[in-house]
């Protein structure tokens, strides 16, 4: 062994430590660390797929429909924007709470107390009409729209739309909404549970109650000039009739 080799040997011996510079061990460490590296490559093509999945999930979540149904009884629900809806028996309402919280589709009869939001009109699409409002109380059914508070615009499938204000109703005939002169005072009593009268002529009160309970109500004698103010629960017709009879001193015949 020549001089330079002795130098090499001395250098090695000076620094030697058992178990050091162990190729096997080091390889395990580096390949273990780098085994994450192929993951990076997987990520390169996995990322767009994952992104697409996330977008897909996001959009399908956004597009999710929430549907409400009322079967045997009227049922009340609160929508995402705070609007209260009451569905008459047999009615359905659906909307996309994440995509369009103020656009609902419905069938049957639904009473709305719309949360006010000037920037986002609330739109009801019913089989016969589209109703657009900002924040009011109204009711939409298959053939009519009744407004209790505020203003609504009703568009049928034909003709010009009409604007209804509180107390007004529109009937939908052949896709054309027309203002109805003889509107019932409490078209939404089924939903609110209350008959509300404010100097309402007795004949109108009886028409209202007749429509609600499906009975025929007649005043015995003269009803002209008599009007009613007050609130009555929808729970018992007989109780209402008794109160009205007492208040107005009339006799009412129920058939």
Partner 1 sequence: MLQTKEIEALFRTYYRPLCLYALHYLGDPDAVEDVVQESYTALWRQENPVANVRAWLYSAVRNRSIDALRKSGKTEPLPSDLDGPISDDEAEERSALEARLWTAVDALPEMRRKCLLLAKRDGLSYKEIADELNISEHTVRNHISRALETLREGGQQMINFIFSFF
From CA 222, how far away is CA 27, in angstroms rounded?
108
Estimate to the nearest angstrom the gap between the alpha carbon of 73 and the chain centroid. Answer: 19
Say if CB 185 and CB 211 are below 8 A apart. Answer: no
- Smallest gap from residue 13 Cβ to partner 1 (A): 4
Min. distance of Cβ 18 from partner 1 in angstroms? 7
Q: Is residue 44 close enough to count as binding partner 1 by CB under 8 A? A: no
State in angstroms the smallest separation of the CB of 22 from partner 1: 9
Does residue 62 contact residue 101 with C-beta atoms inside 8 Å? no
Residues that bind partner 1 (rule: CB under 8 A) add up to a total of: 27
Instruction: Quickly list DSSP for 121-172.
Output: -EEEE-SSEEEEESS-EEEE-SSEEEEEESEEEEEESSS--EEEETT-EEEE
Give the nearer residue to partner 1 in terms of CB position, either 30 or 57. 30
Contact 147, 165 (CB under 8 A): yes
The stretch near partner 1 (CB under 8 A) out of 9-17, 72-80, 138-146, 160-168 is 9-17
In this chain, which of 3, 5, 182, 222 binds partner 1, going by CB under 8 A? 5
Note whether 199 binds partner 1 by CB under 8 A.
no
Q: Stretches 25-33, 76-84, 173-181, 245-253: which one binds partner 1 (CB under 8 A)? A: 25-33
Pick from 227, 245, 247, 243: which is nearest to 235 by CA?
A: 243
What is the rounded distance in angstroms from the CA atom of residue 158 to the CA atom of residue 108?
20
Q: What is the nearest approach in angstroms of partner 1 to the Cβ of residue 55?
A: 28
**Is residue 61 part of the contact set for partner 1 (CB under 8 A)?**
no
What is the binding site for partner 1 (CB under 8 A)? 1, 4-5, 7-18, 20-21, 23, 26-27, 29-31, 33-34, 37-38
């Amino acid at each position: 062994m020549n001089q330079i080799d002795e130098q090499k040997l001395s250098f090695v011996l000076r620094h030697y430590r058992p178990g050091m510079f162990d190729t096997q061990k080091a390889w395990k460490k580096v390949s273990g660390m780098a085994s994450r590296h192929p993951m990076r490559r997987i990520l390169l093509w996995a990322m767009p797929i994952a992104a697409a999945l996330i977008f897909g999930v996001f959009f399908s979540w956004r597009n999710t429909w929430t549907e409400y149904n009322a079967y045997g009884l009227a049922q009340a629900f609160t929508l995402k924007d705070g609007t209260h809806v009451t569905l008459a028996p047999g009615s359905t309402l659906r909307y996309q709470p994440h995509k369009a919280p103020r656009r609902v589709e419905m069938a049957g009869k639904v009473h709305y107390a719309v949360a006010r939001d000037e920037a986002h009109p609330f739109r009801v699409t019913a089989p016969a009409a589209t109703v657009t409002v900002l924040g009011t109380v109204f009711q939409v059914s298959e053939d009519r729209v009744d407004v209790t508070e505020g203003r609504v615009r009703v568009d049928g499938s034909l003709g010009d739309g009409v604007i209804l204000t509180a107390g007004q109703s529109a009937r939908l005939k052949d896709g054309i909404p027309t203002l109805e002169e003889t509107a019932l005072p409490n078209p939404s009593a089924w939903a609110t549970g209350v008959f509300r009268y404010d100097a309402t002529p007795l004949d109108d009160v009886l028409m209202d109650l007749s429509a609600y309970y499906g009975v025929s109500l007649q005043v015995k004698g003269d009803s002209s000039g008599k009007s009613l103010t007050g609130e009555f629960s929808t729970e018992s017709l007989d109780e209402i009739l008794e109160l009205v009879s007492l208040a107005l001193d009339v006799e009412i015949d129920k058939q």
